[in-house]
A and B are shown apart, each in its own frame.
Chain A
Amino acid sequence: MIKLFFIAALFLAGKVSAHEMTPTYPPLVPSYVDGLVSAKMTMFNSRKDVDYFEIGVFDDEWNPVPFAATAKILRVPHGSSKTFEVFVRQEDKKRATFICSLSKLRTDSSARAIVSSKICSRTDGALP
C-alpha cells in the first residue's frame, strides 16, 4: 500500500513540471501558402517555472533551417497546451529533419529552475 502511494506521489509530482510535444513524426504537408510546406504541432506545458518555449527547425546535422511560425518564442502558460504550425520552404523540405521546442528560463534570481528541457520531433518519419 505504501509502495503504491509512493508511486502515485511520484507521478503526481511529475504532473506539475512536464514539457511535452507531439506528434513525434509530423509530416510536412503542402500548406495554404504557395511554395511552403507545414507541420502542425501541439505542445503541453505543466512546468510552473517556465512560460515560454523557443521553436527551432534543424537539419540532420543540427544546422538551423529557415522557418516561419506564428511566433518563434511561444507563450504556453502553466497547465495549458498550444497548437502551432511551422512553415518551411518547399526547397528545404528534404533538409528539415527536426522540429524542436526549448524551454526558456528566466534570468531573474527568483527563478530556481536549472533544468532546460528540449523535445525534438522528426519530420522525415524515420522509424527505428
Chain B
Amino acid sequence: MVKYTLILTALCIPLAANAEEALIEGNVQSKCIINTDINGVYGNPAPDKLSTKSVDGGVEPTIRFDVAIANYYLARITTPSTFSTSPSLSDVVNWTGTTTVGEVSDAGMSAYDAAKVTYDTTSEFDLTIAGSTWFKVDSVATYGFGRAFPGGTYRAIVQAECIAQ
C-alpha cells in the first residue's frame, strides 16, 4: 500500500510542477507609425500668396508620429518646394516652410523643437521619448514679385519620414 502511495505521489509531483511552469510571453517591438491627422489646405490671403497658416485662412497639415520605444527613430519632415498640381506658371514661386511640435503625449517632447536640425526645407527630430508627437507644418508660397497666382487647383506634398536609427 505504501509502495502504491509513493508511486502515485511521485506521478503527481511532476504534473504539479508542469502546471506552475506555464509561461506567458510578451514582446515589445520597436515600431513607428505615421498618422496624417489633418491634411492641409492652402488659404489665399493675397493674390500672390498661398499659405496653410490659419491666420491666412489655411489649414495646417498635422502629422502624428507614434513610437513604441524611445531612441529608435528619427522623424524627418520636408515642407514643399514645388507644386504637385497647379496651373501653368510662368514666373518663379518662392517657398518657405516650418515644422513645429504641436501636441505631445509626454511633456519632455516639448524639447524636440529646440533640438531639431533644419536644412533646406527639411526638419529632423530625434524621437527620444516613447509616445505620440503631433507636428504642425506651415507652408507658404508666393508668386513672382507681387504677381497674382493664376486661377486653378494647387497642391503640394509634405513628406513625413520615420527612419530607424
Contacts and interface: CB of A to CB of B under 8 A. Distances in A.
A107 B72 CA distance: 33
B31 A22 contact: yes
Q: Tell me if B's interface is mostly helix, strand, loop or mixed.
A: strand
A109 B85 contact: yes
B163 A98 contact: yes
A80 interface: no
B35 A14 contact: yes
B96 interface: no
A105 B36 contact: no
Given A107-B84, A119-B161, A18 B34 contact: yes
Given A105-B157, A118-B162, A112 B32 contact: no
6 contacts: A20-B33, A113-B36, A114-B155, A118-B34, A118-B162, A122-B164
Interface stretch (B18-26, B59-67, B114-122): B59-67
Interface of B: 29-37, 39-40, 61, 63-64, 66, 71-73, 80, 84-85, 103, 132, 153, 155-165
Interface string A89-114: 00000000010000001010100111
A20 B33 CA distance: 5
Nearest to A109: B153
A115 interface: yes
Interface residues on A, range: 20 to 34
Nearest to B126: A128
A123 B117 CA distance: 25
Nearest to B137: A115
A30 interface: no
A52 to B, nearest CB: 15
Given A98-B163, A105-B157, A118-B160, A22 B29 contact: yes
A122 B46 CA distance: 45
A102 to B, nearest CB: 8
Nearest to B67: A24
B63 to A, nearest CB: 6
Contacts of B85: 107, 109
Contacts of A47: 36
A33 interface: no
Contacts of B66: 14, 18
Contacts of A20: 31-34
